[in-house]
Amino acid sequence: MDTVLQDPVKERNERTHWFRNDRFGMFVHWGLYAIPARGEWVRSVEQLSVEDYQPYFEQFNPDRYNPREWAKAARQAGMKYAVLTAKHHDGFCLFDSELTDYKATNTKAGRDLVREFLDAFREEGLKVGLYYSLIDWHHEDYPAYGDRVHPMRNNEAYKRDMGNFHRYVDYLHGQVRELLTNYGKLDIMWFDFSYDNMAGETWRATELMSMIRSLQPHIVIDNRLEASGEHGGSIYTSEPSIYAGDFASPEQIIPPEGVTDNNGSPIPWEACITLNNNWGYAAADRTYKSAATVIRKLVECVSKNGNLLLNVGPNARGEIPQESLDILAEVGNWIALNGDSIYGCSQADFPKPEWGRYTQIGSTLYAHIFEESIGPINLSGLAGKVSRAALLADGSEVFLSRPWNASHFPDDAFVNFARPEHMTYPLPDARNTVIRLE
Ligand code: H79
């Protein structure tokens, strides 16, 4: 017998131990679509044929590709792992697959870009993973006409015999085997995505999972072989299927209450979020989030037991856009001083405060102040439960105080940035100040 799950939830918790500790990763969407620079869905949205898209294969020449620079930016941003699109929906492979000619080695790049990525990120001390699209708009045995999202969905010339679909699934399995065999230890496998009937056993998921587990038993896998969407799949039950995956993968959303199974037990989860509004490089998209927003979203994820996988979309020449690098650098400055409130931290034992969020590790509580306040900050319900407070960033003392009208709030502790007798309450600057409470 290959894989008999004794206790799938326990095994999942063991596999995801590092993942739930590390909390912050880099997603990289890179491929031929960086050239049209209108996002990674350009083939589908504009209903481009393989021939329409072929010029990008011929032009692809990322002369500025230096994954060591990417890895350095990720490490300095405080990211602990990274996931690269080995193949996105357009079917183009950044790796040297023996099963297709549609790969980076046959472009002007002339090299295995996945291998260089993995080497560079490992060298910077990050864990590494690969994204592999279950959907494939290039493979001739993948259903096109009538499919919900295929670029040729409206083109009758692409009516296909589903009897040949098994050849695509063989290809999918073969490529996953290549990725898990030829590139050393991978920490994450990120499949994307299942929809309608294209889900679960359509991908021969049981067989695929037992291959994956036999090749790389410790690899952490997302839940999208079975289902996509925030509430899809048996990962949400106490008896997950063999291909339910190790973590839930909410996309462009942070679940309001975190992610729990039907019994209320926490499930590992990771919100994947873009820096602007595209995954792949989009030259005209200037809608970048501020570093302050990214920090708050990271804190929000951790405060709900989740991770943040933050995306960058390098351009056709292989560079992460400068706007993205600037944001990452600023996030990194904050993390360098406040990372103790992120790594290894989880949801606190106390409800969300009005002025921000808590994260917690052991008996240490971190108060993340998002809002300006007038007067002291109310630690609701914490009277007698905290005895020491300090700014995490510089270690300076913060006063636990009882304001003059504290008798109205017998269960609450207060923190103040000046001694209570001074009667002045300098405002916390609300730039994601963190107070360590013990
Ligand atoms: O790889 C990234 C996305 O390309 C992929 N998953 C993340 C990690 C993804 N697949 N599907 N979706 C995201 C959601 C589909 C969104 C769509 Fe649309 C809405 C497809 C067509 C309409 C957004 C807007 C994408 C193209 C136009």
- Confirm or reject: Cβ of 272 under 6 Å from ligand 1: yes
Enumerate the domain spans of the chain: 8-341, 356-437
Residue of 226, 227, 216 lying closest to 189 (CA atoms): 216
Question: Which region among 135-144, 163-172, 230-239, 335-344 has the lowest average model confidence (pLDDT)?
Answer: 230-239
Which of 124, 434, 438 minimizes the C-alpha distance to 298? 434
pLDDT-derived band at 409, boundaries 50, 70, 90? confident
- CB of 112 closer than 6 A to ligand 1? no
Q: What's the whole-number mean pLDDT along residues 308-322?
A: 98
Single pTM value for the model: 0.96
- Any ligand 1 atom below 6 A from CB of 226: no
- The yes/no answer to whether this complex scores an ipTM above 0.90 is yes
We find that the CATH architecture of domain 8-341 is: Alpha-Beta Barrel (3.20)
Q: Per residue in 247-267, pLDDT tens? A: 999 999 999 999 999 889 999
The region, left, alpha or beta by phi > 0 then psi within -120 to 50, assigned to residue 184 is left
Q: Which residues contact 138 (CB under 8 A, 6 or more apart)?
A: 50, 90, 91, 92, 102
**CA-279 nearest atom, ligand 1:** 2
Ligand 1 neighbour 147 (Cβ under 6 A): no
* pLDDT at residue 425, as a whole number: 58
Distance 41 CA to ligand 1 centre (A): 7
Q: Is the CB of 340 under 6 A from ligand 1?
A: no
Give the distance (Å) from ligand 1 centre to CA of residue 358: 32
Asked if residue 425 has its Cβ within 6 Å of ligand 1, the reply is no
Q: Calculate how far, in angstroms, residue 263's C-alpha sits from the geometric centre of ligand 1.
A: 30
Residue nearest to atom 11 of ligand 1 (CA): 193
pLDDT of residue 356: 95
Question: In the 8-state DSSP scheme, what is residue 163?
Answer: G
d(CA 138, CA 123): 33
Using one digit for the tens of pLDDT, what is the confidence trace for 356-378? Answer: 999 999 999 999 999 887 778 89
- The per-residue b/e assignment along 387-401, b for 16 or more CB within 10 angstroms, e otherwise, is eebbbbbeeeebebb
- For residue 375, what pLDDT is reported? 77
CA-nearest of 415, 418, 12, 363 to 213 is 12
Specify whether the CB–CB gap between 149 and 175 falls below 8 A: no
pLDDT of 208 over the 90 cut: yes
Tens digit of pLDDT for each residue in 58-107?
999 999 999 999 999 999 999 999 999 999 999 999 999 999 999 999 99
* Residues contacting 24, CB < 8 A, separation 6+: 77, 78, 79, 80, 298, 307, 308, 310, 335, 342
The pLDDT value recorded for residue 1 is: 44
Q: Quote the CA–CA distance of 99 and 359 in Å, as a whole number.
A: 46
Ligand 1 pocket test target in 26, 30, 41 with most atoms within 8 Å of CB: 41
The pLDDT tens digits of the residues spanning 109-146 come to 999 999 999 999 999 999 999 999 999 999 999 999 99
Say if ligand 1 is within 6 A of residue 121 CB.
no
DSSP label of 131 = E
Task: Compute the average pLDDT of residues 412-420.
Answer: 80
